[in-house]
Amino acid sequence: MTNDTIVATATAPGRAGVAVTRVSGTRARDVITALCGRLPEARKATRFLFRDPGTGDVLDDGLVLWFPGPASFTGEDTAEFQGHGGKAVTDALLQTIRRMDGVRIAEPGEFSRRAFLNGKLDLTRVEGLADLIQAETDAQRRQALQQMDGALARLYDSWREELVRRLAWMEAHIDFPDEDIPPDLDRSARNGLEELAQTIDAYLSDNRRGERIRDGIQIAVIGRPNAGKSSLVNALAQREAAIVSDQAGTTRDIIEIHLDLGGFPVTIADTAGLRSSNEDIEAEGIRRARVRASTADLKIAVFDLTEWPELDEETLSLVDSSTLIVLNKSDVATPYPDRMLTISGSGAHSLLLSTRSGEGMTELLSTLTAMVAERLNAGAHAPPALTRQRHRDALEDCRDSLLRAIHAPMLELMAEDVRLAARALGRITGRVEVDDLLDVIFSDFCIGK
């Protein structure tokens, strides 16, 4: 990291009542003095006229906050200028500051990167901050806040500290075999490592709950042509997201909509109608529909109730316990309520619906929300959710190293595998071997954060 002082607008571009411009680095004090004439009291908002130091022209009238390092977000001297949010005002302030010696525009995520390098944040907290900025649903917000508060770091650090403590005893026994070391060290160490390996393995078997909350649960809408799939998707989206036509085969490719269901992020995919087709483009759409159905977290299988009891066998073959069965066109068909729950032996939910009249939509949304919540809620006492693939990769490396250590024929080999397991955990929080990760992690941030 250089000694440059960095500046950026921390608020989103466009018109607003207030815009925040942030400065961090050794020259932050000089920037405040140049624009305002003096330093305000630390950590107290003070009103100033912001003046161009070259011309004396007034740039804006606003508030300044002064955070002397290391008691700041980045750990460096930091200033925040809170002015009016017009584009001309923010541009004038930003350009005036960047023209000062030793000051440059910040790169994406550079404020957070400096906070990490100065020990203010570990990498899991940095990622939690990024997730909080991008959160669109309540579940995403809660998960991001928990991670930003250090829940993941505390869990991973507790495992790492246990390994470091055991490693210290092993190395003491290796280096000083004549000292008073407990004779059952080998057996107790193997038992402890096996218990931790089982704990990590159980933690990894979470059905990717945290990653699904971050990225959204995937729901595929499947069924034969003209069953009402696109009409259902439009009803869920409350807009014309998909083309609706009486002509079979209208939907050729997958159309996605994004919803907030009970605070959980959901992506619903309208797929091509399932049938045999000799037309190349439609056949490719049908192939993609089957692939999406096989990889989706949940499925909505739409059937045309006017065809009861002769229902589409190809769609029925894709029904399982993660499927919500929708019997559409209930407004023009004779329902058979005593048969609704026996349409499949898979235990799938089923309900009546009319996309034309809206009958059954409330029940559908309620049932779908419950199915999503069942997959993503882990209970109040569950450990913080694993949220990224890089965490999963490191934890798998840790578990594998522990399994090797448990079966190591010599204490020296056991100690080496325990060291590798501890290093794998350290990579998650940023304690070891993270230089190659930093550019990737911080490049996802917006400028000014």
- 339 assigned binding-site residue: no
The reply, when asked if residue 238 is annotated as ligand binding, is no
- Is 344 annotated to bind ligand? no
Establish whether 226 is an annotated binding residue: yes
Is 231 annotated to bind ligand? yes
- 168 class by beta-carbon count within 10 Å (0-12 exposed, 13-18 middle, 19+ buried): exposed
Q: Which two tokens stand for residue 172?
A: 């003491």
Greatest CA separation for the chain: 88
245 assigned to a ligand binding site? yes
Residue 328, annotated as binding a ligand: no
- Nearest-angstrom CA–CA distance, 186 and 170: 8
CA angle at 77 for the pair 73 and 80, rounded to the nearest 5°: 70
Known binding residue 227? Answer is yes
Exposed, middle or buried, 338 (CB in 10 Å: 0-12/13-18/19+)? exposed
Residue 56, annotated ligand binder? no
Rounded CA separation 405/414 (Å): 4
**Is 235 known to sit in a ligand binding site?**
no
Q: Is 230 annotated as a binding residue?
A: yes
H or E element, residue 301: strand 298-304
Instruction: Tell me whether residue 246 is annotated as binding.
Output: yes
Is 128 annotated to bind a ligand? Reply is: no
Does the annotation place 22 within a ligand binding site?
yes
- Please give the structure tokens belonging to residue 397: 């490396």
Asked if residue 228 belongs to a known ligand binding site, the reply is: yes
80 is in an annotated binding site: yes
Contact 93, 59 (CB under 8 A): yes
* DSSP states of 135-175: --SHHHHHHHHHHHTTHHHHHHHHHHHHHHHHHHHHHHHHH
User: Do the annotations mark residue 317 as ligand-binding?
Assistant: no
The response to whether 55 counts as a known ligand-binding position is no
Q: Which residues contact 301 (CB under 8 A, 6 or more apart)?
A: 222, 223, 315, 316, 318, 319, 323, 324, 325, 326, 348
* Known binding residues for (6S)-5-formyl-5,6,7,8-tetrahydrofolate: 22, 80, 120, 449
* Known binding residues for GTP: 226-231, 245-251, 270-273
* Known binding residues: 22, 80, 120, 226-231, 245-251, 270-273, 449
* Known binding residues for Mg(2+): 230, 251
